[in-house]
Structure 1
C-alpha cells in the first residue's frame, strides 16, 4: 500500500469514515472489501456526479437520509467519502443551516484531498446533488453486505 493510501486508511480507521474510489462511473473499495458496504447509488447518478466533480467541484450528494462527498483527484480518479454517523446526524439536523453543512463538506473534502495527494487542496466550489429517494432505492448497483452480517 502506497503512502497516500496509508494516510487515507489511517484517517478512515480513526474517524470511522468510509472511503471509496470512483473511476469512470464505477465504484470500488479503497481498502478492505469486507469492512464496508458500497453505498447504493445508481450508475446514472454516479456518472453525473463524476462529470460535475470533473468540472472542478466537490460534490455533496444528498439523498435517502445519507450524505456522501465526491472529490476529484484527477480526471480519471475520484474519492467518494461516506461520513461517519456523527457527521451524518449533523448534516441531517434541521437546526443546522445548509450553508453550514456545505462549508463542512468542503472542509472535509479538502482534508481528504490533502491526505491523499500530500498537496494543498485547490480552491473548489461545493455543489449539492440531490438523489431522489425512489431512484436511490430502485437503482441499487454493486450492493454488497458486510461480512458476517445478518443482512
Structure 2
C-alpha cells in the first residue's frame, strides 16, 4: 500500500485503509509498546535510541541557522518512516507544525505536546520576578534538572 507511507493526513483520508480512530498517527509511547510486543524490549529500546539519534543530529545540523532567542521558542514536527528492519528514516522536519486535529487520539496527542511545552516554558517552580536573577543563574548552570514532562533532554548546549 503506497499510501501507508504518506504522512499527510489530507492525502491518507481518501484511502480505504485510513483509520478513523487514530488517523495513522501514533504517539512515541504507543510505537514503543507496539515494537516491544512484536520484537521485544531490546529492539524497542534500540529503535527509540535511533530515533533520538536522528532527531539530535538533525537539530545539530541546523543549529547555526536556527533562530536563537531566550524569549521565544519553536516547536518542530518530525515525520519519520520506520522500515522493516526497524531503522528510522527522516522524511522531513516541520518548523511550526500544524496543531489542528483530525481525530480524538490526534487531539489528545497534541494536547499532551502543548502541555509538555508549557511545562517547560512555565515550570511549576517558576520564580517570582524578585528571584529571577538567581533563577536565571540556576537554569543556566543546572540544565539537567528533570522537569516533569514527556520530553527527555538529548543534549545540553552552550
Which one scores higher on RCO, CA 8 angstroms, separation ≥ 6? 1
Q: Same fold (TM over 0.5)?
A: no
- Higher share of residues assigned strand: 1
Category of TM-score, reference length = shorter chain: under 0.3
TM-score (norm 1): 0.24
Structure exhibiting the larger radius of gyration computed from Cα positions: 2
- Higher share of residues assigned helix: 2
